[in-house]
Amino acid sequence: MARKIPSSRPTSRKPANKSPKFLIIAVCEGKNTEPAYLKSFARHYGNGLVEVETVAPAGAPLTIVQTAVARKKARDGRKKTDSFDKLFEVWAVFDRDEHPNIPQALDMAKANNVQIAISNPCIEIWPLLHFADHQAPIHRHKLQRELAEHMPSYQSDGSKIIDFEAIKDRFTVARTRAERQLAGHEATGDPYGNPSTTLYRLLDKIIQNGIVPSSGDGHKTT
pLDDT at 199: 98
DSSP string for residues in 41-53: HHHHHSTTSEEEE
What is the b/e burial string over 110-147, where b = at least 16 CB atoms within 10 angstroms of the residue's CB?
eebebbbbbbbbbbbbbbbbbbeeeeeebebeebbebb
pLDDT at 159: 81
* pLDDT tens profile 38-61: 999 999 999 999 999 999 999 999
Asked if pLDDT for residue 16 goes beyond 80, the answer is: no
Residue 205 — pLDDT band, cuts 50, 70, 90?
A: very high
Other C-beta atoms lying within 10 Å of the C-beta of residue 171: 22
What pTM does this model have? 0.87
Q: Tell me the average pLDDT of the chain.
A: 89
